[in-house]
Amino acid sequence: MLRVWPASEVTEHLVRAVYHLLPQLSGSARLPSRLEIDQIVSSQATTLLLACDEAGDAGAADTAGAAGAADTAGAADTAGEADEAGERDSPIVGMLTLVMFRLPTGMRAWIDDVVVDSESRGRGVGEALTQAAIELAAARGAQTVDLTSRPSREAANRLYRRMGFEPRETNVYRFRLPS
């Protein structure tokens, strides 16, 4: 059974999951400290959604689940509810960060840092995470949800189009600040 839930506290299980998954997303990204993960989890602007495939291969990742699991169908409705069963034995096999912020033009939602463990790809994890993020964004008043995806991530791009995301006619620019 695939479960998606918002992280509500930083546990050793969550830290290990982030450290396992993030290098699969970006080889150049610096791993965040436990404090930085806590800042993400505790921020009102960010929701770190986690996925666990309880029916899948329990050896897919060297991580254990976290408290606060919710079925994917009700992830937006049950955000923050604790799972009475406590910590899960199944590994965290995916994560997604939903960023929400208010601008003069309205409430904005942005999906970023989506990663599914390489052993769990093709099992609907990315779709479940994205659907939960869409539902949560709608529940919080966003009218659109934006994301970017590298062209080389062909499966992800197919998924986003199949889910109804449309390419925008815009340019994405980046300015690197001196370190």
Q: Is residue 128 part of a domain?
A: yes
Which residues share a beta bridge with 6? 49
Integer Cα distance of 170 and 22 in angstroms: 27
Q: Is residue 174 part of a domain?
A: no
Dihedral sign computed on CA atoms, order 153, 156, 159, 164: negative
Angle at 9 between CA 54 and CA 87, to 5 degrees: 35
Report pLDDT for 179: 85
Q: Is residue 96 part of a domain?
A: yes
| Nearest CA among 32, 17, 98, 103 for reference residue 63 | 17
DSSP 8-state class, residue 71? B
Q: Is residue 138 part of a domain?
A: yes
Q: Is residue 142 part of a domain?
A: yes
Tell me which residue range forms the domain holding 119: 2-162
Q: Is residue 177 part of a domain?
A: no
Number of structural domains (the chain) is: 1
Q: What is the CATH classification number for the domain harbouring 132? A: 3.40.630.30
pLDDT digits (tens), the chain, 179 positions: 899 999 999 999 999 999 999 999 999 999 999 999 999 999 999 999 999 988 754 444 433 333 333 344 444 433 333 342 334 557 999 999 999 999 999 999 999 999 999 999 999 999 999 999 999 999 999 999 999 999 999 999 999 999 999 999 999 999 999 98
Q: Is residue 173 part of a domain?
A: no
| Nearest CA among 133, 135, 168, 131 for reference residue 149 | 168
Full-model pTM: 0.83
Q: Is residue 95 part of a domain?
A: yes
